[in-house]
Amino acid sequence: MKRKKGNASIASSNKRTRPQDSELGEFLAPLGVSLGADRHGSSSETDTIVRELSIKLLDTQTRDNFFTILQDYIDNIDNLKVAMLPLLKEDNTTHFNSESLIRILLRVPPLSEPLTELLLEKLPVVSEDRNCNIAALIVSQLRWMNSLSYDVIITKLNEVLSVCPLPVQKEMISGLPEILSDDRHEAACALLLDHISTLDLVPCILEALSELTLSNKMLDKVYESVEELLSALSADSVPSALRFLLSTAPPDKAVSSIREHIDFQSLCQSGEGMEAEGLSMECLEQILRFHNKTQKCWLTQLHSSTSLTVFDLLVYLILYRVNHKPKQVLSSIRLHLKEGTLNSTLIQELYKNHGKTAALFNTEQLRISHSLLLSYPEHPLPSLLYLSVFTHGDMHAQQEVIGSLISHIGSGQSKEVDAGIRTLGLIKDSTDKSVDRFSSLLNGLLDYFNTLSISQAREVLYLLVRISSSGSCRTVDDIHIITRKYLSHSSNKLRKLGIIGSCALVQALSTESATKAKSFLDKVQGSLTQAPELVALFYDELAGCIASGTVSTEIVQLLYDKSVDRFQTVFISREPLDTDSQERDILCLEGADTLENDETGHISINLWHCVQSDDPSELMTLCPLLRLVGASLAVLENNSMEDIDSILGCYIRAPPLDDIISCDKSTVGLLALINLVIEQINVFHVERRRSMRNKLLKRVKLLQELLGMLRQVSVVDGMIPMVFDLVEDLGTNKSKKGQSSKSVLDESEANISKDILSFDPARSGTMKTSTQLNKTDNEADVGAAALSKPKKHVSSWSSVGKFKGFIRELDIRTMTILNQCTESTIASNESSDQSDVQLLTVGLPETCMMLEDLLSKCKFKLKAASVFSRPDNSLGFSRVASLSETKFTQQILAILPGLCQTMEDNVSKCKDATDDSQANDPDQSNMNSTQEEIAMMEDSPFSVKIFELVFSILELVFSWSGFANNSQISTECFSILSSRSQNNTQGPLSVRRKHALQYLLNFEESCQSFSSTLNLLKCCSVISDSTNQRLADICKGCLQKDWDITADEKENKVRFNEGVGYLVSTFLSNSSESKGDLLDFLVEQLDVVVKKDEDVEKIFPTFSRATLPTIYKIVLTKLVEHQKSIPSDKENGFDILTNCVGNFANLINYIKVVNSRPLLRSALLFGQKFLDGFLTIGLPLLSPMISDSFVEVQSILKKIQTSTRFLHHVTCHSKSSKDIALTARVPLLKKFLEAFVLKVKAIFAQHGCTDAFWVGNLKQRNLKGEEIVSQQVEEEDEDEEEDVDADLSELSLDSDEEDNSSRTGPDEENSDSMSIGY
């Protein structure tokens, strides 16, 4: 009764009924189920309803009638929806385990299959009404049902899935793992793989696949399908793919697939892509945080990668965040930084296209930047990282960057301080006024002034002045206070810091108030009257400020007037020159132009008076004062030196230089004369007038000859230092105040003198005029001597090293002389210029001198591909150090046309000389040689040297880390080189690069020395973006020449040996021939060197015992690279593997003949790498071939066995000799030797060939085969029978080798079995 009452109450709530409702209701009413318009009810238990309904439907006709009624009922969408809702109980509530009517009917066996089909057929119908809730309900009815027919579900789903809209498909796919049983998961997987090509379904398919239970074979098939789709995925699907692969696939396979196929650069272009990228990184971080194996595998692959992508950089940041040992991540990053795979291009690309994602890891980037700057302070990448974080970070990140840089600057470590200052200046230049908001924080840099060097303090002060120019008066006040304090200090270093600060203040005050600047200048000059070295530093600093263009014109005019008055008072003499008196010994009559005027008399620079004086102040301030005069006038008169051109044309009263070696004063005088000439060149190099240009070129020639004399003298006491920004003075004399008298500098232009100062190399540095040379000497004798023994080139700057700090720096802008004074340039200018003055040309010795100086500047300034070898000492490069790398490179590009023209002129000269020599009578005696021929022979070494120097300079420019990143500089450089060969300078960068490379290669025939050819190849290899057969041909031709190595190159044998190794490496890298054939060829040539086989032709004369270690290492390196390229197929891979093993065995056998330490080191290092590659690539290739080609496989293993056995002897030798460097490589090699034995044994056992293989034990022997006796041998021999089943490493140590050989018979090589000894 209660049941009926309950049913009545439910039925009363459902007022509207339909005919099919009444029929179905009448059928279900006896079972306790009542139907309603909004909800169905039940008063019976679910199991009872299922049981009773199953009994009633045993009759076929009843079952058919019921299903027809049910089908009519659920054709109505509303009825279907109500039927899928849980049944209400008697109290109108839903129990937690209440089932819906549909789920109850699905449990009835006779109804399960047809009802399942009916429901699945409803999916396209309900989707047309866009009522996705119905589709989700249908899928929910099928979940966790054990009585379903799974085959019907899979078949029907395959039919209807393609016609359903996307949302319904996602609902159905997501529910598959919960609908099907485990034994049907593989069938479901096949169904999903059929639809995985629909990219919009990939996320839900991958999620469903991750919940299926699959066999290994099916999993491999799934991974292959997913890998094929990775490159085509949209940005929204990438997180699902990452989660699936990293959660289900083996870590190494998943990581390699992700790195190889997912291209984040092309995915994340839109805003939605950036959001998806952020989700991908978040997903990746969550997985890596809790999967240590995946972390290690990913870090290992990144560490061994030869190239990096932006995605790899993001993964590095994630690994640094989640890894418990961040030092391992830093170690990997440092390796890529050192190898050049992590460069500024990647960082720029990261922030250009992925800035929002990279900003999520600002903290990690700051920590990495901090560590990298400490490790490699001279590399530009840490600075770029700091700049990127500052540019794209928020206020907090910017403050962290500034604070970190301040800590670097205050660290006290010189390189770290330089890097911090450079980075801070880069941020200021790039972000304009963004740094100004942190001026109060940056004022703290003044607290570290005592720990900074002079040059570092200069950079910090000028940087603070630049920041203060935006309106921070507090910074200027702080600098003013500290400057006044340091100027009055007793410490010489602090006073120098005060001078630099005062110049920075003059620069800042001149733009605000000229009166304040003048007043401050007077105070500074008053405090420096007793210190000439400080006065000289003050002059130099003021000249630098004026040259930068940051000082107002009013202040520049004031400084010019005072400096000119000072210069003419102290250094200009109007005394007449009496050449007949005793003053002849103190007059330098050669190399100067005389100014003869009735009113003014003779004007000269009285250098001899400064040298004779006991007061060094005049000599110390001469060049700095001249620099200040020239810099001021250049700003005021727009680079016109007409007002002071007499300084270049007048006489120089120089000391007697006949007794240079014995007289200290003359040594000081020689240095003073060199410094004066250098400063004259620095000041007047901007002149364009022909008369002044000729005078300038005479000074250049004079400088070259003076530097030649400098080789004959040694360092003496009393030399005047010319570098004033050092903490400790170089000079030994205490400064005194010098006395001077005033005179007037004649402003009239000096006449051109026809004499030039020249030195006779045969007379120990004595001076003679060119007019005093005896032209009646026996020219035949001189000519014969010159032709029989050519003069060798000696570097003009080779003797400057010991006088570094006592010679002024030659400004890099003076190199523009090469642009205007080459023969071709002058010839072209004379055709358009009607001037009567004939221009002089720069000779080859002078050109070499200037190129040597430029090369030294490039080595100091430019950070090459290996920035870790940059010289530490900046002594003598103060002007270059003040330039940025970009500005320095732009200066080189400005003189690049002159360098090219110089090389082209040399080519023309050599060609003309060759033609003339062929035209002359070959039987003509050398005694009849003319002076022109003698000069040509003397210039020949310089002509060869020019090519070497120019190519070295270009190589440094091309290798500079900023060259490839700065498209403007690289484009301009390649355009200049392309234009020299009359090629089109327009077009993409790749075309210009190709034309530039072709232009440089045209100088191949003109390079007649080993060094010049080597430098040409290095230069061209840097800019060659692909393999170039012509480079390979040049290398081969160079290796085939029997070079006549000069004395200088013999002194540096290491450089020649390294050059030969570079030629071999470049030959292998650029040749179009097969790598295997090239390696065979080189091994044959090495065999000739090692065995000294005279019967075999020696194709490469450069291959010798001296160059063997270098070539041996290069060939082993290329052999390991060639081994990694072995394909997996049997047809091609087996032949390459056989070739590699044969060459490896030959190379290892060379150690038996030449067992030098470099060869042993290379064998240990590359033997481990070759075995690693053999285990990874070779054994998987040989394993399937054992059953078919047993003899061939056994032959390869026997051949490599001989190498592994001897490598074991090498490890024993390393330990017995106690060589630490060699012993450090032993453990890893032994690990691979043992792995080789175990894996070979496992492969033979797998194929049932255990009789053909046995493991033997090797005695410890040295390289001569002698046994290394130890106590361990005796102890292990006693227990040999007991330890027969012990570990392989124990068995392989000391057992008797003769016992092993008895197992295989006397002829081990011809036996069917194989022995492996470890």
Closest-CA residue to 524 (of 544, 495, 552): 495
**Locus of tokens 């908001």:** 437
Q: What is the pLDDT of residue 1116?
A: 92
- pLDDT tens figures, 456-465: 888 888 888 8
> Would you give the distance in Å from CA 1271 to the centre of its chain?
51
Q: What is the pLDDT of residue 795?
A: 55
Q: Is 480 exposed, middle or buried (0-12, 13-18, 19+ CB in 10 A)?
A: middle
**What distance in Å separates the CA atoms of residue 1075 and residue 1080, rounded to the nearest whole number?**
9
Contact (CB, 8 A) for 16 and 76: no
Tell me what the mean pLDDT of segment 609-637 comes to.
86
State in Å, rounded, how far the first CA of the chain is from the last one: 92
Candidate ranges 296-305, 929-938, 975-984; pick with highest mean pLDDT = 296-305
Q: SS3 for 223-256, per residue?
A: HHHHHHHHCCCCHHHHHHHHHHHHHHCCHHHHHH
Contact (CB, 8 A) for 917 and 1017: no
How many angstroms separate the Cα of 898 from the Cα of each of 904, 909, 967? 10, 16, 22
- pLDDT tens figures, 308-322: 888 889 999 999 999
Please state whether beta strands 572-573 and 41-42 pair in parallel, antiparallel, or not at all (unpaired).
unpaired
Say yes or no to pLDDT of 136 above 90: no
User: Any alpha helices (H) in 89-237, and if so which ranges?
Assistant: 101-106, 109-128, 132-142, 150-160, 166-179, 185-194, 202-210, 216-230
> Would you give the distance in Å from CA 45 to the centre of its chain?
75
pLDDT band at 138 (very low <50, low <70, confident <90, very high): confident
Q: SS3 for 1160-1171, per residue?
A: HHHHHHHHHHHH
Closest-CA residue to 499 (of 482, 513, 514, 511): 482
832: how many CB neighbours lie within 10 A of its CB? 6
Say yes or no to pLDDT of 877 above 70: yes
Say yes or no to pLDDT of 754 above 50: no
**What distance in Å separates the CA atoms of residue 1016 and residue 950, rounded to the nearest whole number?**
9
Tell me what the mean pLDDT of segment 520-537 comes to.
80
**What distance in Å separates the CA atoms of residue 1311 and residue 1254, rounded to the nearest whole number?**
12
pLDDT band at 599 (very low <50, low <70, confident <90, very high): very low
Q: In 3-state terms, what secondary structure has residue 1202?
A: helix
Please state whether beta strands 41-42 and 33-34 pair in parallel, antiparallel, or not at all (unpaired).
antiparallel
Least confident interval from 341-345, 380-384, 438-442, 601-605: 601-605
- What phi and psi values does residue 314 have, to the nearest 5 degrees? -65, -40
Say yes or no to pLDDT of 1250 above 60: yes
Looking at residue 852, its amino acid is E
Percent of the chain having pLDDT more than 90? 6
Tell me what the mean pLDDT of segment 279-286 comes to.
86
Q: What is the pLDDT of residue 261?
A: 81
**Locus of tokens 């810099």:** 631
Letter string b/e over residues 1285-1296, b meaning 16 or more CB atoms within 10 A of that residue's CB: eeeeeebbbbbe
Higher-confidence position of 162 and 762: 162
Q: Is 684 exposed, middle or buried (0-12, 13-18, 19+ CB in 10 A)?
A: buried
| Mean pLDDT (the chain, rounded) | 75
pLDDT band at 401 (very low <50, low <70, confident <90, very high): very high
Q: What is the pLDDT of residue 404?
A: 92
Closest-CA residue to 1037 (of 1013, 1003, 1001): 1013
Least confident interval from 13-27, 73-87, 88-102, 437-451: 13-27
Closest-CA residue to 371 (of 314, 309, 328, 429): 328
Say yes or no to pLDDT of 780 above 90: no
Pull the structure tokens for residue 445.
Answer: 């840099």
Higher-confidence position of 809 and 662: 809
Pull the structure tokens for residue 1022.
Answer: 């840097």
Say yes or no to pLDDT of 985 above 60: yes
Q: Which residues contact 385 (CB under 8 A, 6 or more apart)?
A: 347, 365, 368, 369, 372
Say yes or no to pLDDT of 1084 above 50: yes
User: Any alpha helices (H) in 471-552, and if so which ranges?
Assistant: 473-487, 492-510, 514-526, 532-547
Please state whether beta strands 1253-1256 and 1314-1317 pair in parallel, antiparallel, or not at all (unpaired).
parallel
Candidate ranges 200-214, 382-396, 833-847, 1080-1094; pick with highest mean pLDDT = 382-396
**What distance in Å separates the CA atoms of residue 1138 and residue 1037, rounded to the nearest whole number?**
30
What secondary structure letter does DSSP report for 761? G
Contact (CB, 8 A) for 1238 and 1188: no
Q: In 3-state terms, what secondary structure has residue 90?
A: coil
Contact (CB, 8 A) for 120 and 160: yes
What secondary structure letter does DSSP report for 1174? I
Closest-CA residue to 298 (of 274, 273, 277, 317): 317
- pLDDT tens figures, 712-745: 777 777 778 777 777 555 543 433 333 333 332 2
**What distance in Å separates the CA atoms of residue 882 and residue 503, rounded to the nearest whole number?**
15
Cα angle, residue 1069 at apex, residues 1095 and 1002 outer, rounded to 5°: 95
Higher-confidence position of 527 and 473: 527
Closest-CA residue to 364 (of 415, 332, 400, 399): 400
- pLDDT tens figures, 676-718: 999 999 999 888 888 888 888 888 888 888 888 887 777 777 7
Q: Which residues contact 854 (CB under 8 A, 6 or more apart)?
A: 812, 815, 892, 895, 949, 953
Q: Which pTM was predicted?
A: 0.74
Tell me what the mean pLDDT of segment 767-774 comes to.
31
Percent of the chain having pLDDT more than 70? 76
Closest-CA residue to 906 (of 1006, 1009, 820): 1006
**Locus of tokens 């106690």:** 1218
Higher-confidence position of 469 and 1170: 1170
pLDDT band at 367 (very low <50, low <70, confident <90, very high): very high
